[in-house]
Chains A and B, each alone.
Chain A
Amino acid sequence: MTSETHFEQSKRRTFFKSGIAFISGVISLAMAVPLIGAAIAPAFKKGQKKWVDLGLVELLKGARHKKINYTFQAKDGWVQATRERSVYVTDEGGGRFVVFSRVCTHLGCLVRWDEKKRHYHCPCHGGIFDETGNVIAGPPPRPLERPSVKVENGILYVREV
């Protein structure tokens, strides 16, 4: 084999190697975009916000840290699911209500109202929130969530996502 043909052969093989890398790259990219797109899509899906009926204001008059469980319909993938939620409602007078989500801002356990100690207590890691939902002890990084509320036609609504 002459050095020239050896050189040409080497050039051809370099082209083949680049070609294999190029084709592998094209197919991988053409696959990665739709596959990863499909897999991570839920992270970009915005939940539909809606007002959920919590009950008649009349029945909630004078409520102090009253636990209310409620359900509502929401789409869960291909299923129309019944979601269950739990909140604490406090009547602040003058038609104003404060609603605290029961979900601990630490790692998502449900907090409980301790009537004797007058604070919310998380059973998982000992997070404690005061009456206004602020953290007074334990690991939670933020106060309890306060979903938006409104009163319409004598009914208290909470904003659900």
Chain B
Amino acid sequence: MRRRIAAFFESRLPLSDVVNHLKKPLPKHINWLFSLGSMAAFLLILQAVTGAFLALYYSPSPDHAYNSVKYISHEVPFGVFVRGLHHWGSSALVIVVFLHLLRVVLYGSYKAPRELTWMVGVILFLVVLGFGFTGYLLPWDQKAYWATVVGVEIAGTVPLIGDFIAKILRGGAEVGAVTLTRFYTLHTIWLPWLVFVLVGLHLFFVRYYGSAGLPQNRPEEMQGGKPFYPDQLFEDAVAILVLFILLAAAAIFIPVPLEELANPTDASYDPRPEWYFLFLFQLLRYFEGPLEVIGTFVIPTAAIVLLLLLPFLDKRERVPLRKRPVALAVTSLSVLAIVTLTILGGRSPKLETPSEPSIKQSESPSNDANQSEDATPEEDADDTPVFDFN
């Protein structure tokens, strides 16, 4: 009976064919750096799954977002763990995708015929950063609010169409309810679909052209290595397990920050973005006045265009890294600059401005949220019935 059921499915869903495809031999001398792609794929799945469960309790409105996140962290069983995995998973995703990109650059794997694999990969990296940007507004705390205000202002400095883009991002003149709904929709529907399509394309190209292997591989070494399944996948699985253990430990032992409720009138707050945008934050400090657009638009755009066009700018034959001093120098300097700017951004002194006493405006966006949070009268205290005899 069991054999008949197996035969039924095998004839209609030939899994063995799929497994055979996965057995395609890789080039020789594949090292652990080639597990970064699988690790990124795992993290994307982890983010999708934990995000889907967080969405069961999250409410994307300024009146409820903050309290719903607090509810997830303090009252939902395992909520703090799931939120922790999602939070630290997002940081891990940025790191892993960046290292994956770096590995491809240093090995020159972006060269023909893999230009499209590379370009789709670069777009995926930008989408991952987009997930970060849209994701950290969602808790609607001070950091979320102010980092988004600044982030959207940065988009607003794009020449000619900046104001238009900023308004589209915000859904209005200010960061508010429409912005939150937009960012939530982008974060949970638009970007996931985009990632789904782009990862599909990326994997198709990877499978179609095969792994680029090491640049020092001789032509005969480009085949005949270990098969992807089970040899390489086992190594990937071990790397993924280590990553998962680290993330689970972080989720358990490092509390995910949740600052005070967003307060658009609090001038004493010193906005800082998530760590992976600190380099950009720091970069902007060096360009003042009319030069601001260089830091907000010119340099980031140039970097993205250069990255995208890298395979067309560097068309020379693939050789080991030691024979590419310029590439090595440019890459090292870029990474050094990003790391230095990130550290400087993290260390930049915060302004010591004391909180100013303020008169609450009745239409302050935070007012409603405050009210909903404060509206927790003692149980039983408000049991006054409203009678309707008829």
Contact = CB atoms under 8 A, between A and B. Distances in A.
Given A53-B385, A79-B372, A35 B49 contact: yes
B79 A55 contact: no
B386 A35 contact: no
Interface in B214-262: 230-231, 233-234, 237-238, 240-241, 244, 248
A78 B385 contact: no
Contact of B230 (A17, A27, A66, A69): A17
A34 B86 CA distance: 13
Contact of B64 (A17, A51, A54, A78): A78
Interface string B374-390: 01110111111111111
A37 B50 CA distance: 12
Contact of A70 (B70, B375, B387): B387
Interface residues of B, number: 45
B312 interface: no
Contact of B387 (A24, A35, A51, A68): A68
A79 B64 CA distance: 8
A72 B382 contact: yes
Interface string A16-47: 11011001101100110111011101000000
Given A30-B244, A34-B78, A69 B237 contact: no
A53 B388 contact: no
Interface string B115-133: 0000000000000000000
A35 B67 contact: no
Contacts of B238: 19, 23
User: Quick one: which of A31, A48, A75 has the most chain B CB within 10 A?
Assistant: A31
A34 B80 CA distance: 10
Contacts of B231: 13, 16
A78 B56 contact: no
Interface in A50-77: 50-55, 59, 66-73, 75, 77
6 contacts: A20-B233, A30-B248, A72-B385, A73-B383, A78-B64, A78-B70
Interface of A: 13, 16-17, 19-20, 23-24, 26-27, 30-31, 33-35, 37-39, 41, 48, 50-55, 59, 66-73, 75, 77-80
